[in-house]
Copies of this chain bind each other. A is one copy, B any other.
């Protein structure tokens, strides 16, 4: 199989990730933060090591990193935990349904309203588009680090500066950027970062996290046992407990730590450059193919993550993907849970075929993809 659906989930995982997940399930399958026995304490300690790795990578304090099942849960916690009745939210025109459906729900429930700031290839314009929409009741700006369909990056630091200037909380959906491009919560003025563990961080599926800057308070949307303040009817007010009710996915979390080690040993920038060189090749080949329609300029570093969307001939995107699947090439077609981005790029009627390499994708695989496509 040639797997080019890494923006959904990276595959394969590094061997160390598989091994650590397996070992954790065998040796560290104990509830952390509860039992006082050695094995439970060891599990807590190993999980805290992963918090520390995440904190180090994105410049948070380790206790402010809480684990979730995926990035979607983290975004729901961040958005709903931040917004009070009558609030106003600004999101970008490239948000995933993990943000768009959430703000729509808040609107449908009469809790908060939202506006959509259009993306521009000019970073200053994008930031200005956010700033222009700020109202007196704007309490939250939510922005994806990069489109999961077209790969274009949003100027997170500039939008963060706007948010800071207006004292508005800033939430970043790092689904396509965490582990790949530099993110520094302090420099980028990020109040809350939400990310999956199973994409560019190379951890197991079923992992994600929410990380908050010091001093950020959040209302809870999920309460339950935390092994702390157990006699108290209210969810604890300290992190990570406040956002981690119930049993954690130990094995997945510990595998995520191994994923981060993998990235650190290869160098995130090397991985990013490798993947961009592949999308650059794919872009050139698709540009030269008169049957392929592309929707963005060629990727530049720091402006794009390695994701390309295209369509082929007059085929529906699903047809192209199905024909590729017959040739054992795995790509995803359709809307990629991001209708806003398709509206913006004019592909709302058709969807697109999406290509995304990983650290493990080879040039040869991309060549086979290009050759196969030509025969369809």
A contact set with B: CB distance below 8 Å:
1, 3, 5, 8-9, 11-13, 18, 21-22, 25-26, 29-31, 34-40, 68-73, 75-76, 80, 96-98, 100-102, 104-105, 108, 196, 198, 204-208, 220-227, 230-235, 245-252, 318, 321-322, 324-325, 328-339, 348
**Which listed residue, B36, B75, B100, touches A233 by the CB 8 Å rule?**
B100
B21 and A251 within 8 A (CB): yes
A224 and B331 within 8 A (CB): no
A8 and B31 within 8 A (CB): yes
Taking the nearest CB of chain B, how far is it from the CB of A372, in angstroms? 13
C-alpha gap A124/B25 in the complex (Å): 42
A11 and B29 within 8 A (CB): yes
7 closest Cβ pairs, A-B complex: A206-B249, A225-B337, A72-B246, A72-B224, A70-B246, A230-B335, A98-B224
C-alpha gap A251/B205 in the complex (Å): 7
Contact residues in B for A26 (Cβ distance below 8 Å)? 12, 18
B13 and A21 within 8 A (CB): no
What is the chain B residue whose CB lies nearest that of A10? B29
**Which listed residue, B8, B29, B246, B251, touches A35 by the CB 8 Å rule?**
B8
B108 and A248 within 8 A (CB): no
Contacts known (A31-B5, A225-B98); A234 close to B39, Cβ less than 8 A: no
C-alpha gap A68/B69 in the complex (Å): 8
B105 and A220 within 8 A (CB): yes
B198 and A247 within 8 A (CB): yes
C-alpha gap A140/B180 in the complex (Å): 46
B330 and A40 within 8 A (CB): yes
Contact residues in B for A80 (Cβ distance below 8 Å)? 221
B22 and A8 within 8 A (CB): no
**Which listed residue, B70, B98, B230, B338, touches A336 by the CB 8 Å rule?**
B230
Contacts known (A72-B246, A221-B221, A339-B230); A37 close to B101, Cβ less than 8 A: no
Taking the nearest CB of chain B, how far is it from the CB of A242, in angstroms? 11
A223 and B25 within 8 A (CB): no
C-alpha gap A256/B265 in the complex (Å): 33
Q: Please, could you name 19 A-B residue pairs with CB atoms under 8 Å apart, sorted by A? A: A8-B247, A9-B31, A11-B29, A21-B251, A29-B205, A36-B318, A36-B322, A38-B325, A69-B69, A72-B222, A76-B222, A76-B245, A80-B221, A101-B225, A102-B223, A196-B246, A205-B248, A206-B248, A231-B335
Contact residues in B for A71 (Cβ distance below 8 Å)? 246-247
A225 and B72 within 8 A (CB): yes
Contacts known (A247-B70, A251-B21); A230 close to B97, Cβ less than 8 A: yes
**Which listed residue, B37, B220, B333, B348, touches A36 by the CB 8 Å rule?**
B333
C-alpha gap A318/B37 in the complex (Å): 10
Other contacts beyond A8-B35, A73-B246: 15, CB < 8 A: A5-B37, A21-B21, A29-B204, A29-B205, A69-B73, A71-B246, A72-B246, A96-B224, A101-B223, A101-B245, A102-B224, A206-B248, A230-B339, A249-B252, A251-B251
C-alpha gap A209/B27 in the complex (Å): 25
